[in-house]
Amino acid sequence: MKVLHLTKYCPPYKGGIETFTFDLVKELNNLGVGADILCFNKESKILEFNKFKIFKSKVNFKINTAPISFKYTSFFFKIYKNYDIIHLHSPNPLGELISLFAKKPIVIHWHSDVVRKNFLYIPYRFLQKKVLSKASFVIVTSPNYLKASEILQEFRKKCKVIPLGISFSRLENSATNKLGVEDSILEKVLKENKKIVLSIGRLVEYKGFEYLIKAAKYISNDAIILIIGNGPLYNSLRKLINKYRLNNKVFILTNVEDITPYLKTSYVFCLPSISRAEAFGLVLLEAMYYGKPLITSHIPGSGMVFVNQKGKTGLTVPPKNPKLLAKAINSLLNSPDSYKRYKLNCLKTIKNFDIKSVATQIVQLYEEIIGEQKKNKE
């Protein structure tokens, strides 16, 4: 069985979907599925790994934020006939469009709805409905997201809830002492015995970092906030830090190569996202792997509510509320017994998100599709 995964980007591009797709394809190959990846990139090239290939395609331009690549299209029509199934990671307008022309069964991995809609959403919604109609299965990453997704309601019968997962072996083998170029900040914090409230993500509006920065005014002085990420809001977030005179309490690190040391040395992990654009939050799984209690926004319909179980793996607060966010952080900083309970629950719960289990469930869908094809031919 051979499967071609159509996605946007792959490592070294940083992001939850990028990390998950790479981990998934690697594990699928370990399970005997010949899975490869077609993705976008700064330049076109083919990378060969031990068991799979990544076809990287140069981006020519973007429409709204969606990458468009002539090479992506040519790669696809050159190779897709070599595969039994197309596994499409959505949203991906170009991938969705070209997959309609392939006479192959499609599995859609529904990572997120389009939350911020404009005039381009009308034709794009038409395209999405076309590809959803063609798909054999639609994988949704949490029951919360399936229930809240308006566009998926028409296709609920073909939807299967399979959560995202992480590679435990990748985390076990990752560098343990490799610090980023801004490691002096981490070393300074550790010398001062400060507790680290860690947050990781692109510096964009829906991540809600401005509210975490504002919350710093109210958190205990024995803690600092480390935000790891880069993006268009860097300058405005820096201005906010300066405005509230939080330069010794909030740090933004933009050039961290390996997040492992930061996850290991942090005290709690906070994801203050403010909308369903935060569909799951893969980084929450990485924090849980290291036993870090979670603090997240309570956003109905987001997978964050599914991952971070309130009162078990951490705390949840209403979005856009710095004072309640600070209250939750302080409660974990000042309650050793509660902290220990959350930590142990994180270490237990993360076992449900092993990429091996996720990949096994997906292989079962592939086998069902192939089995149905054989029946139809007989």
Residue 245 contacts residue 213 (beta carbons within 8 Å): no
The answer on pLDDT for 187 being more than 90 is no
Q: Give residue 184's identity as a one-letter amino acid code.
A: S
Residue 13 CA to residue 20 CA, distance in Å, equals 12
For the chain, give the mean pLDDT: 93
The answer on pLDDT for 181 being more than 50 is no
pLDDT tens-digit profile of 9-33? 999 898 899 999 999 999 999 999 9
pLDDT tens-digit profile of 303-328? 999 999 999 999 999 999 999 999 99
CATH code that applies to domain 171-353? 3.40.50.2000
Residue 163 CA to residue 210 CA, distance in Å, equals 29
- Tell me what the mean pLDDT of segment 350-362 comes to: 97
The answer on pLDDT for 267 being more than 60 is yes
Task: Taking the CA atoms of 35, 38, 43 and 44 in sequence, report the sign of the dihedral they define.
Answer: positive
- pLDDT the model gives residue 176: 54
What's the token pair of residue 47? 């990378």
Q: How many CA atoms within 13 Å lie on the side-chain side of 320?
A: 5
How is the chain split into domains, by residue range?
2-165+354-377, 171-353
The superfamily CATH assigns to domain 2-165+354-377 is Glycogen Phosphorylase B; (3.40.50.2000)
What's the token pair of residue 204? 């964009």
- Per-residue HEC secondary structure of 22-88 comes to HHHHHHHHHCCCEEEEEEEECCCEEEECCCCEEEEEECCEEECCEEECHHHHHHHHHHHHHCCEEEE
- pLDDT the model gives residue 155: 97
Residue 168 CA to residue 225 CA, distance in Å, equals 26
Residue 82 contacts residue 2 (beta carbons within 8 Å): yes
Identical fold between 2-165+354-377 and 171-353: yes
Residue 276 contacts residue 140 (beta carbons within 8 Å): no
> For residue 91, is the peptide bond before it cis, meaning its omega torsion is within 30 degrees of 0?
yes
330 closest CA partner among 341, 347, 317: 317
- pLDDT the model gives residue 373: 85
- Tell me what the mean pLDDT of segment 194-206 comes to: 96
The answer on pLDDT for 178 being more than 60 is no
Q: Within the chain, what is the greatest distance between any pair of CA atoms?
A: 73
Name, in order, each residue with C-beta under 8 angstroms of 170's C-beta and a sequence gap of 6 or more: 23
- pLDDT the model gives residue 334: 93
pLDDT band per the 50, 70, 90 thresholds, residue 65: confident
- Tell me what the mean pLDDT of segment 184-191 comes to: 74
The answer on pLDDT for 188 being more than 50 is yes
- Tell me what the mean pLDDT of segment 137-152 comes to: 96
Length of the chain as a residue count: 378
The answer on pLDDT for 64 being more than 90 is no
The answer on pLDDT for 252 being more than 80 is yes
Residue 168 CA to residue 354 CA, distance in Å, equals 7
- Tell me what the mean pLDDT of segment 353-371 comes to: 97
For residues 61-71, one letter each, b for 16 or more C-beta atoms within 10 angstroms of the residue's C-beta and e for the rest, the string is eeeeebbebeb
The answer on pLDDT for 177 being more than 60 is no
